[in-house]
A and B are shown apart, each in its own frame.
Chain A
Amino acid sequence: MPEQPQIERPHADRIQSERPMIEIRNVTRSYGAFKALDDATLTIREGEFFSLLGPSGCGKTTLLRMIAGFDNPTSGSIAVGGQPMEGIPPNRRPTNMVFQSYAIFPHLNVEQNVAYGLKRLKLQGGEEKRRVEEALAQVSLTGLGKRLATELSGGQRQRVALARALVMRPKVLLLDEPLSALDKKLREQMQVELRRLQQAVGITFVLVTHDQYEALAMSDRIAVMFGGRIAQVASPKEIYQRPVDRQVADFLGGMNFVKAEIVEENGASLVVDTLGFGRIKTDKPKAFVRNGGGATLGIRPERLRVLWDNATAKFEVAGKVVERHYFGEITHLIVEIPGLEKPLSVTETNDFGADDIPVGTSIRLAYDPEALVAMAD
């Protein structure tokens, strides 16, 4: 979709505080020689929906548990709301957590589960009941207060876990893969609801997930993590369109990689020579650090468009379809380009008959040089 006007996400204009809520400074967590988290530094802002995204074992859950107080940094410091968290146990931290297993107390009903943390506060004059009702309404569970945990569906349990944490009015709500146990449809519905809820309550949410679509759909900003290190912190759009390296690019979805030789480098742009695409002038990403004379260019499969009949484009590349895969609303084409060592992946919507292009056809693809993002080798 080159140069379509970007539709702003509804919350993009929301005024966000620049005040830091969680400050993670050089945090390392070692288990013997193994570093689950390696020198992580990160600032999460007040009122932000922040996601920690990465494959299993990347350290995202370790980091979340250290914010909650269930684990402690081997070195480095964590502060929440300006207060250092060192030595403060989970029960005295201004954070609440939604557990992956939901951890609903099975011997208590929904109301008792939600009121669990309030009991200690000894609220006066029906305040406790009022707050429980309010929390249940926030997660659309009004009227289910007397149900036992064992009588709830997976989605309902998740809502109870949310209400139980929100009722405490924490500064930060931590969510550990909260949607992973739900089926696809319910998961997508809950993504929207969680996002709405976060905007309604204005609490800082920190979500741990391995699902890139979940992170892209819900977050204000995302930290992508690999092997205990934070690879990139940016908005979903930036992460998707301008990944800092091949690993991040790959994790966020399909990406075609093209080898390039740097011809010219200046402040904001790069001129590179490629086989297949020829000489290209493209933006130099802020995070780009030159490493020798080579670079890698990446282009998302949906940024390559099939040119029909005699249509032309300012930038095009010619090739031959070698494979075609049908996915309902889109078709996935594998196109061999002379000079490129790997064929390009192209996803095309089926409106114009991409699903009918025979294998072996010679086609031309249009692209926008801006869509080719440079990554250091």
Chain B
Amino acid sequence: MRARRFLPGGWLSAYAFLYIVFLYLPVIFLPIFSVNTAATPKFPLTGFTLQWYEDLPRTPALLDAAWNSLIVGVSASLLATVLGILAARSITRYRYPGRRTINGLIMAPLVLPEVIVAISMLLVMLQLGLSLSLFTVVLGHVLICIPYSMTVLTSGFEGFDRSLEEASADLGESAFGTFRRVTLPMVAPAIISSLLVCFTISLDEFIIAFFLTGTEATLPIYIWGQLRFASKLPGVLALGTLLLVASFLLMTIAEILRRRAARRTQNEGGLYA
């Protein structure tokens, strides 16, 4: 552990406090108003209720949207992770010309304006003659998930000591056996982490889903639709809170797994006594 200096008191801590408030204040309002009895989000609060949460499972349109989101999320995260594994393995394992460029191109969707990506994808889908459906949403989500998947997987694969696979072969194991007994267990945490990150991103994504879906709404689209009705706002807040908590939990688990994977692969070498 490196020695860490404490921040000097006074204005610097005040700045740090404001910083955190700025980041999280808007988020805090969501759960607060979701348990408020009043139908409009206004202070002062009128009273505590879980009524808005209880109403959620009684809304068929919401359940449909949740189901759609689940299908899209699972499909997109699986596809993006499989593609991510292949790319991350190639980038961390082999040295070839254009490796950095390819890596850059794969990561680019991270910074492209989503609305542009959405419009481009819509044009492509229509050109290909695909009718808009959850399938097209999945394709769109795969595109935006791959950079995240790559980030997580590269950090898990990086430093994977190749001699581990050689040691396995040396001890008599076949190529498939080596993959099953060494490679897979070593990188499993990174793969699960990638699945969780992709699922979370797909679950929360609005613009691409909005452009590429046909009649079936995902959760963010459902929420967008409900905003037209003032009376539905508390339900939206409750749903939003649940999504927030779910995302937060999934991302935390994903990060823990990613770090574990990175530690596993990078601790090799026996150079510390």
Residues on A lying within 8 angstroms of B by beta carbon are 68, 70, 89-92, 95-97, 99-107, 116-117, 120-121, 150, 152-155, 157-158, 164-165, 168, 181-183, 186
Number of A-B contacts (CB under 8 A): 86
Q: Can you offer 13 A-B residue contacts whose CB atoms are under 8 A?
A: A90-B169, A91-B171, A99-B167, A101-B161, A105-B168, A117-B171, A120-B173, A121-B172, A154-B273, A165-B170, A168-B172, A181-B269, A181-B270
B171 touches A150 (CB 8 A): no
Residues on B lying within 8 angstroms of A by beta carbon are 161, 163-164, 166-174, 177, 181-182, 185-186, 264-265, 267-273
Q: How far is the CB of B139 from chain A (nearest CB, A)?
A: 35
Q: A99-B167, A103-B268, A164-B171 are in contact. List 20 more A-B contacts (CB 8 A).
A: A89-B169, A91-B171, A91-B174, A97-B167, A99-B163, A101-B268, A101-B269, A102-B269, A104-B268, A105-B168, A106-B268, A116-B173, A116-B181, A120-B173, A121-B172, A154-B272, A165-B170, A168-B172, A181-B271, A186-B273
Checking B166, B174, B267 against A103 with a beta-carbon cut-off of 8 angstroms, the contacting residue is B166
For residue B172, which residues in chain A have a CB less than 8 angstroms away from its CB?
A: 91-92, 117, 120-121, 168
For residue B185, which residues in chain A have a CB less than 8 angstroms away from its CB?
A: 107
For residue A95, which residues in chain B have a CB less than 8 angstroms away from its CB?
A: 170
Q: How far is the CB of B171 from chain A (nearest CB, A)?
A: 3
Checking A101, A150, A153, A183 against B163 with a beta-carbon cut-off of 8 angstroms, the contacting residue is A101
For residue A70, which residues in chain B have a CB less than 8 angstroms away from its CB?
A: 166, 169-170
CA distance A165 to B173 in the complex (A): 13
Checking B264, B271, B272 against A107 with a beta-carbon cut-off of 8 angstroms, the contacting residue is B264
A105 touches B170 (CB 8 A): no
A90 touches B170 (CB 8 A): yes
Given A103-B166, A182-B273: A150 and B173 within 8 A (CB)?
Answer: no
A106 touches B264 (CB 8 A): yes
Q: How far is the CB of B120 from chain A (nearest CB, A)?
A: 43
For residue A92, which residues in chain B have a CB less than 8 angstroms away from its CB?
A: 172
B170 touches A104 (CB 8 A): no
For residue A105, which residues in chain B have a CB less than 8 angstroms away from its CB?
A: 164, 167-168, 182
